[in-house]
Amino acid sequence: MGLTVGDRAPDFCLPDTQGNLVKLADFKGKRVVLYFYPRDNTPGCTKEACGFRDAYEQYQTQDIVLLGISADDANSHEKFVTKYNLPFPLLCDEGGKVAETYESYGLKKFMGKEFLGVIRNTFVISPDGTIEKIYRKVKPEFHAAQVLADLA
């Protein structure tokens, strides 16, 4: 079956880089862009995060909350945030349970090897808590601009 546009977005509670718990419910009444990415400091994930960073002010002017989620730990996230001056929270989904709930964790292939990991998907959650738009297996380079243009 799977998540589709119009479904209630699954709630979650995850720590940020400082150990503060962040819940989706905290953003009720706001539009949220929730992007899942495989790993800090890898080429594609860096392009995607920097794209969101570069467009962050435009997201802010539209009152859109931006949250990144991967299975990396707080220490890895903190280094990634610092290195690339990311102005939005990265949340730690160690074990990938929230990613799994959002159908963003599963079997992947890279260089002939199969493994389980976070799949690069993005969900736009409307102010009423329903899924407004889903981007599956996105291309990282221009993704932030594409989402922003779609939400304008």
Point out the residues that are catalytic: 45
Phi, psi of 146 (to 5 degrees): -65, -45
| Alpha-carbon distance values, 85 to 9, 56, 77, 89, 97 (Å) | 29, 11, 11, 11, 27
In sequence order, the 6+-apart residues with CB closer than 8 A to the CB of 73 are 92, 94
* Contact (CB, 8 A) for 102 and 36: yes
